[in-house]
Amino acid sequence: MTKKELEQYLLQSLNMALGTLMQGETSYTNSFDCQVMEEGFLFLPRLPAGYIIDDGLYQKIFLIANASLYPRFTLLKQNSAYFVPRNTNDIHIQRGLFFPWKKGISERLVIPNLDHFTSSINDTNIPIMKNYSVSYDKITSMLIAGNSGSGKSYALTYFLSVLQKFSDLILVDPKFDTPSRWARKYNVPVIRPQQNRSKSDFVSEINENLSNCLNIIQKRQEILYENPNHEFTHLTVVIDEVLALSEGVNKSIKESFFALLSQISLLGRSSKIHLLLVSQRFDHTSLPVSIREQANVLIQIGNINKKTTQFLFPDLDPEGIVIPIGKGTGLIQIIDNEHPYQVLPLLCPTYYTKRGIL
């Protein structure tokens, strides 16, 4: 399909679907036009107009165009109307509504053998989907949220298998479940509940390890002060089901736990110390807001609606985002200088691993 044909197709889709919202004004009456670009398309209203150009119109156009362009393009959801100026002196067409896209749709990675796959990784890039990866050098913290049975443990096992190639791990498993079995297979130390120990005692042990991480951060910062180019080995604190740790614990111990996590998330980036946290939800009772704000890889798996996305994506209305049905599907946002800040549909990798883990 040529650029001109795509523009005509978009115009036809908008003319037929906008209906009463545009009060009968169409491209046939010269009320608006579309311009296809490499990074997206422009909706060009001709002003003065008999319709209101606001967030409501923008989101309506998004719903129509995203469905019309699927699967050739995936529109990147915006929180509000995306106005751009145009290089013209004609005041009637000096602005447009921009709809950025990426070519194609999100495609799942299918990995026949996870051990062979991870052994071929020679850098710090983490493959997430086909033609979509993230450099761990640019990650501060990762948050994975999802309802029970959504595939969080499956996704966590994948990330653990990749991370162990280039990062030291401090693994906390309050449920003594899948992460502990993975750690046993790969000889990775794990902090887990023990018999005849209280929950507060267990969280105190975690706090000791987090405190050691802060000491490492301080030492590494002193080294960076003398040599800003010094390279450190990545260190990742992995905590499965954070919500299970923050409920039913002595208040002072819980506050210490939150304070230590917050300090690591705020100070650990330059010294390559990261957090990878998994929970059914990340409200203020399970995680301080400062940690959510520092995290730059956000993953929501499972049921996607305004209620489930309100903590990781507070400004997002997921309506209109085409999310495939199945386990390990949801939304992802990577905030760095390489990826667009928009939220994308996610399909977690499918893989096969050793028996006895999952």
CB count within 10 Å of CB 105 equals 18
Are 283 and 323 in a shared domain? yes
Task: Tell me how far apart the alpha carbons of residues 221 and 307 are, in angstroms, rounded to a whole number.
Answer: 40
Mean pLDDT to the nearest integer, 46-61: 91
How do beta strands 297-301 and 190-191 pair? unpaired
Are 115 and 142 in a shared domain? yes
- What was the pLDDT predicted at 339? 67
Q: What CATH code is carried by the domain that includes residue 323?
A: 3.40.50.300
Q: For residue range 18-43, what is the model confidence (pLDDT) as tens digits?
A: 876 777 788 888 899 999 999 999 99
pLDDT over 80 (residue 356): no
Map tokens 């489930």 to a residue. Answer: 308
Are 246 and 290 in a shared domain? yes
pTM over 0.85: yes
Q: Give how far Cα 155 sits from Cα of 143, 160, 325, 348, Å.
A: 12, 9, 16, 6
Confidence category of residue 357, pLDDT binned at 50, 70, 90: low
Are 79 and 116 in a shared domain? no
What is the DSSP secondary structure assignment for residue 198, as one 8-state letter?
-
Element (H, E) at 201: helix 199-226
For residue 237, being part of any structural domain is answered with: yes
For residue 356, being part of any structural domain is answered with: no
Task: Tell me how far apart the alpha carbons of residues 305 and 212 are, in angstroms, rounded to a whole number.
Answer: 39
pLDDT over 70 (residue 340): no
Token reading at 222: 């002193």
- Residue after which a domain boundary falls, among 77, 103, 129: 103
In the three-class reduction of DSSP (H, G, I as helix; E, B as strand; rest coil), residue 151 is classed as coil
Are 82 and 145 in a shared domain? no
Cis-peptide into 48, omega within 30 deg:
yes
For residue 128, being part of any structural domain is answered with: yes
For the chain, the straight-line distance linking the first and the last C-alpha, in angstroms and rounded, comes to 45
Domain range for 126 is: 110-351
For residue 357, being part of any structural domain is answered with: no
For residue 234, being part of any structural domain is answered with: yes
The fraction of the chain above a pLDDT of 70, given in percent, is 97
Are 165 and 30 in a shared domain? no
pLDDT, mean over the chain: 91
| Residue 33 and residue 44 in contact, taking contact as beta carbons nearer than 8 Å | yes
Are 168 and 264 in a shared domain? yes
- Residue after which a domain boundary falls, among 66, 86, 103: 103
For residue 358, being part of any structural domain is answered with: no
Task: Tell me how far apart the alpha carbons of residues 12 and 1 are, in angstroms, rounded to a whole number.
Answer: 15
Are 86 and 153 in a shared domain? no
The number of distinct structural domains making up the chain is 2
Are 16 and 127 in a shared domain? no
- Residue after which a domain boundary falls, among 81, 103, 125: 103
Note the residue count of the chain: 358
For residue 242, being part of any structural domain is answered with: yes
Are 55 and 198 in a shared domain? no
Are 98 and 114 in a shared domain? no
Are 126 and 30 in a shared domain? no
Q: For residue range 180-191, what is the model confidence (pLDDT) as tens digits?
A: 999 999 999 999
